[in-house]
Amino acid sequence: MSDLSIGSHLIGSQQPAFIIAEIAQNHDGSLGLAHAYIDAAAEAKADAVKFQTHIADQESTYDEPFRVKFSGQDDTRYAYWKRMEFTAEQWEGLARHAADKNLVFLSSAFSLQAVELLDRIGIPAWKVGSGEFRSTDLSAAMVQTGKPILVSTGMSTWSEIDAITHYFQQRQHPFGLFQCTSMYPTPSESVGLNVIEQMRERYECPIGLSDHSGQPFASLAALARSIDLIEVHLTFDKRMFGPDVSASLTIDDLKLVTAARTEFAAMDAHPVDKDGMAQHLNAMRALFTKSVAPTRALKAGEVLTPSMLMAKKPGTGIPYVELDRLIGQKLQRDVSADRLLTWEDMGVENA
């Protein structure tokens, strides 16, 4: 598999999953809220924060319908995109803020002008949204920059994914793919974790999950499958306004995902030797296992029978599994009813 480098992060085989907090339109056109989301992504320990750079005049018309008519504020979809715009200087400020928080700054470009704007501010990689898989003009412009390209496949067929990967491979351009389902929110039965494995077998590139389920479970399952990248939408609260909120994770949800990445990596990095671990737990074994104990006080000289013996904790005496060795043997000294039987009681110094 061909690994990717995005900023200081190596992405691919044997690397921790690269986690992207997708803000999308959850800032609702507020620059202040966009900056607040950068702080939240850093607090949740994401690797990258991602926005979407929309320039209404360059990507939309008054004919564009709403995916969901969610807003009484915007008469048209075009007006909504217009309200989501930031200036080049504002985008630069967001990128600087992300860098100050040690976050990789990413933003999906939806027009050639957006590609030019983001390239000028030094974006380190490109994200192609599921709806742009046929935008060959954007792909060509992104390839010209030499920067890695991450492609979501939420609306794509296998033949379409084959075509875009072939396009990148012909040009020896670094790329990664996201399994994605363009449903907002995505029901669990439509997440398509099986597609991750199919992509791994089919393409020699990092594979990720771009999840819109609005729950942490898909990301956790993907981490357990050693996914290379995860992208999830982020919201401050499920009661906030916007078309992506229902498909977003809360900050606490994202913290769970990033913590799981750390814990899963620790488990993978430290394989356990079963015999060695049992030896290490000898003191614990003694607490939880059982030994042979008398059912009553016994006198020296008595010949042991099954009715005289039982199993009791701790496991510091004669192990109960040795019971058959004791039956018919003569006790060498008195044993009270409230203690364990030992090999010394049987006249054996080293069993």
CA distances from 82 to 62, 109, 270 (A): 11, 15, 51
CB-facing half-sphere around the CA of 176: CA atoms within 13 A: 30
What's the average model confidence in pLDDT over 57-76?
81
Could you count the other beta carbons within 10 Å of the beta carbon of residue 34?
21
Contact 79, 135 (CB under 8 A): no
- Domain-located, residue 333: yes
Query: What is the model's pLDDT at position 250?
Result: 98
- Could you report the per-residue pLDDT of 107-133, keeping only the tens digit for each? 999 999 999 999 999 999 999 999 998
pLDDT tens digit sequence for 288-324: 999 999 999 999 999 999 999 999 999 999 999 999 9
Q: What angle do CA 179, 180, 182 make, to 5 degrees?
A: 160
Look up tokens 């803020």; give the residue.
97
Specify the pLDDT at position 268: 86
Mean pLDDT of the chain: 94
Tell me, what's the pLDDT at 350?
A: 62
The predicted model gives 214-223 an average pLDDT of 98
Q: How many whole angstroms separate alpha carbon 288 and alpha carbon 295?
A: 20
Confidence bin at 1 (pLDDT 50/70/90): low
- Contacts (Cβ under 8 Å, ≥6 apart) of 78: 56, 60, 61, 62, 64
Do 207 and 230 meet the contact criterion of CB atoms below 8 Å apart? no
Q: pLDDT of 127-168, one tens digit each?
A: 999 999 889 999 999 999 999 999 999 999 999 999 999 999
- pLDDT (tens digit, 9 = 90+) per residue, 182-208? 999 999 999 999 999 999 999 999 999
| Percentage of the chain lying above the pLDDT 70 cut | 98
Assess contact for 309 and 295: CB atoms under 8 A.
yes
What would the mean pLDDT of 27-43 be, rounded to a whole number?
97
Q: Which residue has the tokens 């609306």?
A: 155
Q: What is the rounded CA–CA span in Å between residue 209 and residue 173?
A: 21
Q: List the single range of 35-44, 137-146, 173-182, 340-349 with lowest mean pLDDT.
A: 340-349
End position of a domain, from candidates 253, 269, 285: 269
On whether both 119 and 231 belong to a single domain, the answer is: yes
- Confidence grade of residue 61 (pLDDT, cut at 50, 70, 90): confident
Query: The CATH number of the domain where 68 resides is what?
Result: 3.20.20.70
Q: 157: domain range?
A: 9-269
Share of the chain above pLDDT 90, in %: 87
Instruction: Report how far apart, in Å, the C-alpha atoms of 334 and of each of 302, 331, 348, 351 are.
Output: 9, 8, 15, 19
According to DSSP, the residues that pair with 180 across neighbouring strands are 210
Q: Note whether 169 and 206 are same-domain residues.
A: yes
Amino acid at 319: P
* 16 occurs within a structural domain: yes
Domain check: are 224 and 324 in the same one? no
Residue 108: φ, ψ to 5°: -75, 135
pLDDT over threshold 70, residue 257: yes
Q: Report pLDDT for 237.
A: 97
Q: Are 52 and 26 in contact (CB under 8 A)?
A: no
- 335: pLDDT strictly greater than 70: yes
The answer, yes or no, to whether residue 337 has pLDDT greater than 70, is: yes
- Kindly give the residue spans of alpha helices, DSSP state H, lying in the chain: 31-43, 56-59, 77-84, 88-100, 112-120, 136-145, 158-170, 193-202, 217-224, 251-269, 274-280, 282-288, 323-326
**pLDDT, tens digit (0-9, with 9 covering 90-100), for 76-103:** 989 999 999 999 999 999 999 999 999 9
351 is a domain residue: no
Output the CA angle 116-122-126, nearest 5 degrees.
Answer: 70
pLDDT band at 351, cuts 50/70/90? low
Q: Which domain-ending residue is among 269, 302, 328? A: 269
Q: Are residues 212 and 328 in the same domain?
A: no
Q: Quick one: 157 and 40 in the same domain? A: yes
pLDDT of residue 163: 95
